[in-house]
Amino acid sequence: MPRTDPASGGTPAGTAAEEQLAVDLAGVSVRYGPAKQPVTVLDAVDLRVRAGEFVVLVGPSGCGKTTLLRVIAGFVRPASGTALVRGAAPRPGRGAGVVFQQPRLFPWRTVGGNLGFALARHGVPRSQRPGRIAELLERVGLPGMGGRRTWELSGGQQQRVALARALAAEPELLLMDEPFAALDALTRERLQEEVRSLAGRLGTTVLFVTHSVEEAVLLGSRVLVMAAGPGRVVTDLAVPLPRDPDTDVAGLRSSAEFARLRGLLAGALLPA
Ligand SMILES: Nc1ncnc2c1ncn2[C@@H]1O[C@H](COP(=O)(O)OP(=O)(O)O)[C@@H](O)[C@H]1O
Ligand SMILES: [Mg+2]
């Protein structure tokens, strides 16, 4: 079975010191449970993500993918090792935008109200919010929908609002935890293509969790395969597919190179 270099992070030696890494985890371990009988959920994970990379995490349920994102978001503090986001310890609400599997919108606010709340928290003055809301809705393909109730929207539309909310704070880092898992296949494909080109246009660094091999290969500039018991990164696969915004994504999906990478990743996901 083909295996690429484990967890090396792919950063060429010599340039690492010059550039500010978007994410730099070194020997990060996370343990849950009582101090007497801790369960090691992540074991000495090293992960280096350069600014502008789109890194996809795949691996069996329970291997610690969500926990890894929570460390980077600053929700979970490692038991050992160091976690840095742009050179500083991660703090919740600072720096990273987060999109979950469920959109988690406030049902008592309109679509615009949900975005306005995020903008306010980000310190955007009230007078500027309507313009920014319109811009964000445009960006995620929901122009003019600010007055709608969130429960009037389809699952895909709600997830677009959740993405717009994450973008409200203009994050340099976007953490997406199986964001399309609950969507129908067509909506999912459309959103994949939009997130792919949006991240490229905005230059946002993305960490994206999925169970779909196809989604991983399409979205990732790099795919990390994790294993469970305890959670660790076992494969680091570069995805050398074109990423410029006017890429023909439908053509890409049916290309031989796409099929080759999909096969490679599927092989890496088989239990050792
Ligand atoms: N707050 C918690 N307390 C105790 N155990 C947890 C907690 N959160 C997650 N776990 C456990 O940690 C492991 C990794 O969980 P998670 O990061 O959610 O994995 P994944 O996202 O890959 O499915 C699982 O075994 C899970 O049961
Ligand atoms: Mg998870």
Q: Indicate whether residue 108 lines ligand 1 (CB < 6 A).
A: no
**165 lies in which domain range?**
105-170
Looking at the fold, whether 143 and 235 belong to one and the same domain comes out as: no
Count of the separate structural domains present in the chain: 2
Q: Indicate whether residue 210 lines ligand 1 (CB < 6 A).
A: no
Would you put residue 248 in left (φ > 0), alpha (ψ -120 to 50) or beta?
Answer: beta
Which residue type occupies 106? Answer: F
User: Which residue lies with its CA nearest to atom 2 of ligand 1?
Assistant: 32
Query: Do 16 and 168 contact (CB within 8 A), yes or no?
Result: no
pLDDT tens, 95-128?
799 999 999 999 999 999 999 999 999 999 999 9
- Ligand 1 pocket: which of 31, 67, 101, 234 to mutate (most atoms <8 Å of CB)? 67
Looking at the fold, whether 166 and 179 belong to one and the same domain comes out as: no
> Domain holding 249: CATH number?
3.40.50.300
Closest CA to 224 of 50, 56, 70, 100: 56
Q: How far apart are the CA of 64 and the centre of ligand 1, in A?
A: 6
Looking at the fold, whether 91 and 144 belong to one and the same domain comes out as: no
Looking at the fold, whether 79 and 29 belong to one and the same domain comes out as: yes
So what's the pLDDT on residue 268? 92
Does some domain include residue 49? yes
Does some domain include residue 34? yes
Looking at the fold, whether 225 and 123 belong to one and the same domain comes out as: no
Q: Indicate whether residue 65 lines ligand 1 (CB < 6 A).
A: yes
Q: Indicate whether residue 217 lines ligand 1 (CB < 6 A).
A: no
Does some domain include residue 100? no
Does some domain include residue 223? yes
Looking at the fold, whether 88 and 210 belong to one and the same domain comes out as: yes
Looking at the fold, whether 47 and 33 belong to one and the same domain comes out as: yes
Looking at the fold, whether 53 and 166 belong to one and the same domain comes out as: no
pTM of the complete model = 0.90
Looking at the fold, whether 154 and 193 belong to one and the same domain comes out as: no
Looking at the fold, whether 12 and 89 belong to one and the same domain comes out as: yes
From 170, 205, 221, give the residue that closes a domain: 170
Looking at the fold, whether 148 and 267 belong to one and the same domain comes out as: no
State the Cα–Cα distance between residues 215 and 239, nearest whole angstrom: 12
For the CA atoms of 86, 27, 10, 241, what is the dihedral angle to 10 degrees?
Answer: -80
Does some domain include residue 227? yes
Does some domain include residue 149? yes
> To 5 degrees, how large is the angle CA 202–CA 207–CA 213?
110
Does some domain include residue 196? yes
Residue 84 neighbours by CB distance under 10 Å: 17
Q: Indicate whether residue 41 lines ligand 1 (CB < 6 A).
A: yes
Does some domain include residue 212? yes
pLDDT tens, 150-165?
999 999 999 999 999 9
| DSSP symbols for 143-193 | TT-TTSBGGGS-HHHHHHHHHHHHHHT--SEEEEESTTTTS-HHHHHHHHH
Ligand with minimal distance to 65 CA = 1
What radius of gyration do the chain's Cα atoms show?
19
Q: How far apart are the CA of 144 and the centre of ligand 2, in A?
A: 33
Could you read off the pLDDT tens digit of each residue along the chain, which spans 272 residues? Answer: 444 444 444 444 445 455 789 999 999 999 998 888 999 999 999 999 999 999 999 999 999 999 999 999 999 999 999 999 999 999 987 779 999 999 999 999 999 999 999 999 999 999 999 999 999 999 999 999 999 999 999 999 999 999 999 999 999 999 999 999 989 999 999 999 989 989 988 999 999 999 999 999 999 999 999 999 899 999 999 999 999 878 899 999 999 999 999 999 999 998 76
From 132, 151, 170, give the residue that closes a domain: 170
So what's the pLDDT on residue 15? 53
Atom of ligand 1 nearest to the CA of 63: 22
Looking at the fold, whether 90 and 116 belong to one and the same domain comes out as: no
